[in-house]
Amino acid sequence: MATVNWMYNVSLIQFLGLFYDGILNSQKAQLVKDRVQNIIKAMTYKVYRYINRGLFEVDKNMFKLMMCLRILMNEHVLTSLDIGMFLKAGAAIDDRNKKFQWMEKKTWDNIVALSKHKFGPDQSMFYKGVVDCVSRSNPEWRAFYEADTPESDIVPDYEEKIHADQMGPFLHMCLIRCLREDRTVVASNRFIDSVLGNEFVAPVSDPISEIHESSDTNKPVLYLLSTGADPTSQIDEYSRKFKKYPTKKVSMGEEMEGPALERIKDGFKTGDWVVLNNCHLSLEFMAEMENILNPKDVEVHEEFRLWITCSPDKNFPLGLL
């Protein structure tokens, strides 16, 4: 995971590009406050799509959840203690007075922690009476606890209160996390949908056309390889549209830096597309790539593009990332 995290580095220049794009391409408005909201909305989605396409599938939901929670913290809806409650639940609780035989000890501790937590800047003890509620409406809560999809079922005793509260989506997600940890990911998607909108949870694809549009002569496209995935054929197929087929390919490894550099320099003149595969095998050459792609005395053809494939490596040069 540490290696993958390293490959996830981004720069201030990248962010500024998204920032200015959000300003230029967001919906116009007469009132300043409406214009600001349009910029924020456009920029949030732009950043999400940009980062999302560079993440492995296993990390995408976590990224969206982190972004959503950070937004609510900045808006002073949530506090860091609320997020701590969501993450740790009853991990610090060891209550030996478990009342309900049908409930696991871990779940009981989570419920006790939930009943003691003060939510939001107003320190609301929203779930203060949850233990008593479970006692009074035992059959309903047991059915909720044992349901196949509790995240979409009516919450006993609390359904109307949750919908009436500004923090409702977060409060609901916390309850599901405490009662049914196995449904937390599904509940988090509903939370993200409630706060940011369906476009943040709907399945997305990043066609190579959009990726190509964000590239430049000195801004290569980097594909992180995973088992069974090789984008080379996809790049080749797309290159036909621009009459760049076949692309100039080099499989990196020992003594392949020379041929790769030659292909790149030829591409500067002709505008050809160059594909360097398995670049984790030539990290020293990758460290020189920033300088190679920004020559001082050479005019680079505007149609030249460099495509890089590599496996995650903590020694991959940060500047190129």
Instruction: Tell the burial category of 321 from Cβ atoms under 10 Å away from its Cβ (0-12, 13-18, 19+).
Output: middle
| Residue 258, H or E segment | helix 257-270
Q: With bands split at pLDDT 50, 70 and 90, how would you rate the model's confidence at 6? A: low
- The region of weakest confidence among 39-43, 54-58, 152-156, 288-292 is 54-58
Q: Are residues 88 and 180 in the same domain?
A: yes
The pTM of the whole model exceeds 0.85: no
The answer to whether residue 261 is domain-embedded is: yes
| Last residue within a domain, chosen from 169, 199, 229 | 199
- Contacts of 257 by beta carbon, 8 Å cutoff, 6+ apart: 282, 284, 285
- pLDDT digits over 8-20, tens only? 777 888 888 888 8
Q: How confident is the model at residue 3 (pLDDT cuts 50, 70, 90)?
A: low
Q: List helix spans (H) across 93-228.
A: 105-116, 130-136, 138-146, 159-164, 168-179, 184-196, 208-213
Q: Average pLDDT, whole number, for the chain?
A: 90
Domain end among 159, 179, 199: 199
The string of pLDDT tens digits covering residues 223-281 is 887 776 778 888 999 999 999 999 999 999 888 999 999 999 999 999 999 999 999 99
Nearest to 185 by CA among 63, 83, 102: 63
Tell me the pLDDT tens digit for each residue of 81-91: 999 999 999 88
Domain total for the chain? 2
Question: Are 124 and 223 contained in the same domain?
Answer: no
Q: Is 316 helix (H, G, I), strand (E, B) or coil?
A: coil
Domain with 217, as residue range(s), is 208-310
Q: What is the DSSP string of 14-39?
A: HHHHHHHHHHHHSPP-SSHHHHHHHH
- Cα(134)–Cα(179) distance, rounded to whole angstroms? 12
Q: Which of 199, 221, 250 is the last residue in one of the domains?
A: 199
Rounded percentage of the chain residues whose pLDDT exceeds 90: 65
Residues 91 and 133 in one domain: yes
- Does 218 lie in the same domain as 186? no
Is 53 within the bounds of a domain? Answer: no
* Per-residue pLDDT at 1 exceeds 60: no
Residues contacting 99, CB < 8 A, separation 6+: 108, 131, 134, 135
What average pLDDT does range 287-296 have in this prediction?
Answer: 91
44-48, 151-155, 227-231, 279-283: the lowest-pLDDT one? 227-231
Backbone phi, then psi, for 249, in 5-degree steps? -110, 145
Mean pLDDT of 115-122: 94
